[in-house]
Amino acid sequence: MLSKFFIEHPRLAIVISVIMMIAGAISAKNLAVAQYPNIAPPEIYVMASYPGADAETIAATVGIPLEKAINGVDGMTSMTSSSNNTGSYSLTVSFKTGANPDMALIKVQNRIQQAASQLPREVTANGITCEISFSGSLGYFAFISPKRTKG
């Protein structure tokens, strides 16, 4: 009965839906998102550069000392690293969900300071940077047509 009324009065239905969209946009800005916990596990991204070195040299002289020093940090779940022929090295240290990202950053920085004496001078002169990040691959959506048709 109510649906019949809105079918017969489409302009009223459009006005009500626009008002609801505006109210939703206003209330979305006022949501207290900071109260909700982080559900993505924190990650610490470590970057270093060794100008003029190839990927194998970087892995041997920068990667191995850093990975040995950082391995075993409290709350760590995994590490992934990569080096390339442009002289850059990156290491991603993943922590348990719910771990404090600031404390994780401090722990990783302390371990890097311990390994600094084993690194080449060029690397320590350029500096080793650490950043907090959260994994972006928490979820994906896919829309697939059952008959594999487009449109």
CATH assignment at residue 64: 3.30.70.1430
3-state secondary structure of 142: coil
What average pLDDT does the segment 67-92 reach? 92
Contact 87, 52 (CB under 8 A): yes
Residue 64 and residue 110 in one domain: yes
Residue 31: its pLDDT value, please? 76
* Domain span including residue 22: 2-35
Within a domain: 93: yes
Q: Output the average pLDDT for the chain.
A: 86
With tokens 């002169």, the residue in question is 125
Residue 9 and residue 49 in one domain: no
Query: Is 96's pLDDT higher than 80?
Result: yes
Which residue in 38, 34, 59, 60 sits closest to 104, CA to CA?
A: 38
Helix (H) or strand (E) holding 3: helix 2-8
Q: How many domains does the chain have?
A: 2
Residue 64 and residue 82 in one domain: yes
Query: Is 151's pLDDT higher than 60?
Result: no
Within a domain: 147: no
